[in-house]
Structure 1
Amino acid sequence: MKIKDLTANVSLDIFLLVKEMTEDVTRNNDSYIKFLLSDGENNIHGIMWSTSIKELDEDVRPGKIIKVRAFVRNYKDNLQLNITNCRPVLEKDNVNVGDFVKSAPVDSMAMFDAFIQETENFHNSDLKKIVQKILMDNKDKLVYYPAAKKVHHAIRGGLLYHTYRMFKNAQSIASVYHTYINRELLISGVILHDIGKVRELDSNKLGVVDDYSKEGKLLGHIVEGVIMVHDAAKELQTPEEIELLLKHMIVSHHGLEENGSPKKPMTLEAEILHYLDEMDASVYQFEDTLKGVSKGKFSDKQFFLGNIQLYKNEL
């Protein structure tokens, strides 16, 4: 059974992936747990009353698949699970983990290898060395890390997928505006712009983020990315100009200070990187939202897109 098949006012047993769980208390100081659960395609919220997290099995945690017994109810025009019991998946349940993990539609190793192959053809050996070093040093995480806890590319392999789509667009743009763009610098910046997320996010191998790391909370992926470039450049004795340009692309890729960038883009490659990043994040959110909308209909308001409703055309 899938979440899309659920109807209100029925009791059921269902296997779901725990994406988030937090503990809270009622006005009467009674503990309860709020869940965000997924079937690999859609999410649903759940509530388990009069229970604390410490009372549950230690395998009922974010990133784990559990069996849920619940009553389906309508809550503020959305279905919600009123959970009465839950337990970890057992071997006898014959559950396929792959059915519950939303993953990038392109194989992670294929995307990773595309970056290595591209940089292998760089004329600038210093750019080649630093990009390949940072990629290889973080390969184990890159093959499963999401690009975010929520919103865009929050899927297994999402960080590589987001970077890969930007990479493909960067290749095309560099061929159009070839007069003033340093193609190798642009592609290097694209590949490394979000590399700090492997330190910012605390993801399990299913690509599920339970929380931000200590470094993520105190520094963020932009600062972590700069540190990673600095450390690699120091080890490789990378020319100062290359190190500086790569750092600038990382610190400016959000475009505006109010969006988290310490600096606005001040090179053409940094400016293009910013727009590629912004475009791919927006396109993904449109894609992810509209796949659940019928033709000729509007979505719910999307907070991260300016609180607008998206329309799925009938063409």
Structure 2
Amino acid sequence: MRYIETLHEGETIRNTYLCKGKRSAETRNGKPYDNLILQDKTGTLDGKIWDPNSNGIADYSEKDFIEVYGEIISYNGNLQMNIKQLRVADEGEYDPADYMPTSEKSVDGMYEELMRYGKQVKNPYLQQVIQYYFVNDEQFIKSFKAHSAAKSVHHGFAGGLLEHTLSVVKFCEYMAGAYPILNKDLLYTAAMCHDIGKTQELSLFPDNDYTDDGQLLGHIVIGVEMLDDAIREIPDFPKKLASELKHCIVAHHGELEYGSPKKPALAEAMALNCADNADAKMQTLTEIFKAKDTKDWLGYNRLFESNLRKTSI
């Protein structure tokens, strides 16, 4: 098994990968070709089939495990594979575990740590929200531990949603200690719940793709609906507190153009937005630098709108 993270420019390889994505296109001259996204547990790799009608290219579909033969090249600073031969692999020729990216950290350990923060919430109503999902709902707990935090960009691996949530809570712990204006109970509860909608927005691996509700509603709307489900089961839940908690979820992306229906209007919502944004960006940089182990300039990155480079020391 040649994992994607070990590939180098100039190599010719034959290996089996998950066909994460497939899209047919045409060159400027009208010649058909296929764009593929190949995946294993270490990452993804763009693939090109410049002659999809060749005898060496068998019929295949997205989500198939495919054996590919071709050359690894560099294009615009990124590795990709020019595929000369392709066939669908037979069951038993591959181990599905090799194709599911997972957190490098202990899922159970992270969940236990997250719950230690949850137990610090003293407000009885907010504590019941945490209990509703993170203690009493076994199906939610299983899904929350297994889900990624995103289809791509950051924490796009099994356990990524939990890892991201824990990191956000830790950022919030610092801010709650540094800024007494923040209500720790509200901030911790909002941080733990800010991405719960992703358990329904995204499907589990190996697909890790948007569900119908994910496409139509998105995780922010789904998350608020999930909070409503919990709040309805908690007698005499204060209406104002419910609105404040839901506002933190609604506003956690910070800007309308980033998918938040409202900008932060509470200090806790602003703190949550800062924590979410910081962890997402630092994890994205971590994954970029891990994929390109070099201290050279990496070229312009559209997400960060900057040329990126590792620190020299």
TM normalised by structure 2 equals 0.85
**Partner residue of 2:233 out of 219, 232, 235:** 235
Where does residue 169 of structure 1 map in the other structure?
171
Structure 1 position 297 matched with structure 2 position 296: yes
Shift of the 236–28 alpha-carbon distance from structure 1 to 2, 3 Å rule, reads farther
1:131 maps to amino acid? I
Structure 1 position 209 matched with structure 2 position 208: yes
Work out the CA distance in 2 between the residues paired with 1:6 and 1:65. 22
1:294: Cα distance to partner? 4.6
Q: Within 5 Å, which residues of 2 pair with 1:86-125?
A: 86-91=87-92, 93=93, 95-125=94-124
C-alpha contact (below 8 Å) 1:253/1:265 kept by paired residues: yes
1:112: Cα distance to partner? 2.4
Work out the CA distance in 1 between the residues paired with 2:289 and 2:69. 30
Shift of the 298–171 alpha-carbon distance from structure 1 to 2, 3 Å rule, reads same
User: Deviation string for 1:92-141 (max 9, x for gaps)?
Assistant: x3x44434332222222222233333323432121111122133352121
Where does residue 130 of structure 1 map in the other structure?
129
2:172 maps to amino acid? A
Where does residue 22 of structure 1 map in the other structure?
23
Where does residue 200 of structure 1 map in the other structure?
201
Where does residue 310 of structure 1 map in the other structure?
308
2:201 maps to amino acid? E
2:225 maps to amino acid? I
Work out the CA distance in 2 between the residues paired with 1:79 and 1:25. 18
Where does residue 264 of structure 2 map in the other structure?
265
1:83: Cα distance to partner? 4.4
C-alpha contact (below 8 Å) 1:69/1:86 kept by paired residues: no
Q: What CA RMSD, in Å, does the superposition of the two structures yield over aligned residues?
A: 2.6
Where does residue 143 of structure 2 map in the other structure?
141
Work out the CA distance in 1 between the residues paired with 2:273 and 2:253. 6
C-alpha contact (below 8 Å) 1:192/1:225 kept by paired residues: yes
Where does residue 53 of structure 2 map in the other structure?
50
2:213 maps to amino acid? E
1:167: Cα distance to partner? 1.1
Structure 1 position 69 matched with structure 2 position 72: no
Work out the CA distance in 2 between the residues paired with 1:27 and 1:261. 38
1:268: Cα distance to partner? 1.1
SS in 1 for 2:298: strand
1:125 maps to amino acid? P
Where does residue 158 of structure 1 map in the other structure?
160
C-alpha contact (below 8 Å) 1:293/1:312 kept by paired residues: no
1:215: Cα distance to partner? 1.5
1:33: Cα distance to partner? 3.8
1:28: Cα distance to partner? 9.1
1:61: Cα distance to partner? 3.6
User: Deviation string for 1:264-298 (max 9, x for gaps)?
Assistant: 11111111001001111111111111224455411
Where does residue 39 of structure 2 map in the other structure?
38
Where does residue 81 of structure 1 map in the other structure?
82
C-alpha contact (below 8 Å) 1:290/1:310 kept by paired residues: no
Structure 2 spans left out of the alignment, 5+ residues? none
Work out the CA distance in 1 between the residues paired with 2:173 and 2:73. 49
1:163: Cα distance to partner? 0.7
Work out the CA distance in 2 between the residues paired with 1:258 and 1:27. 33
SS in 1 for 2:38: strand
Shift of the 74–289 alpha-carbon distance from structure 1 to 2, 3 Å rule, reads closer
Work out the CA distance in 2 between the residues paired with 1:158 and 1:224. 19
SS in 1 for 2:122: coil
Work out the CA distance in 1 between the residues paired with 2:17 and 2:287. 20
SS in 2 for 1:298: coil
Shift of the 70–295 alpha-carbon distance from structure 1 to 2, 3 Å rule, reads closer
